[in-house]
Amino acid sequence: MARAADGWWGLVSWPVYGRGADGILGDLFCSAWIPAGELQASSRSTELPGYQQLLRLDLPADTTAWPVPAARSEQIWYHYGRVK
């Protein structure tokens, strides 16, 4: 969770299986910043402990400077920036 001048935002990520820019099928990793009001906690009991580890930080006014998830070298990552 992160706070910007216009409110709280959450960085979400998800994997999809598809064709990357190189034309090869495989796991693609996606992420985006979305308004925190759009987030809903998972009801899976195995995921609940992870919510206690959520970082909270202040974001700069320049949205291009907002952090993105770190990717391993073999991962194909698509970050969509701020959504909405």
Q: Which single residue is written with the structure tokens 């001048």?
A: 5
Q: What is the pLDDT of residues 13-27, one digit of tens each?
A: 899 999 988 898 999
**Domain count for the chain:** 1
- 33: containing domain: 2-82
pLDDT score for 62: 92
Q: What is the pLDDT of residues 20-73, one digit of tens each?
A: 888 989 999 999 999 988 888 777 778 766 666 677 889 999 998 998 888 777
pLDDT score for 34: 93
Q: Which residue intervals of the chain are DSSP H helices?
A: 48-51
SS3 of residue 24 by DSSP: coil
pLDDT of residue 82 exceeding 80, the answer is: yes
Helix then strand count (H, E) for the chain reads 1, 5
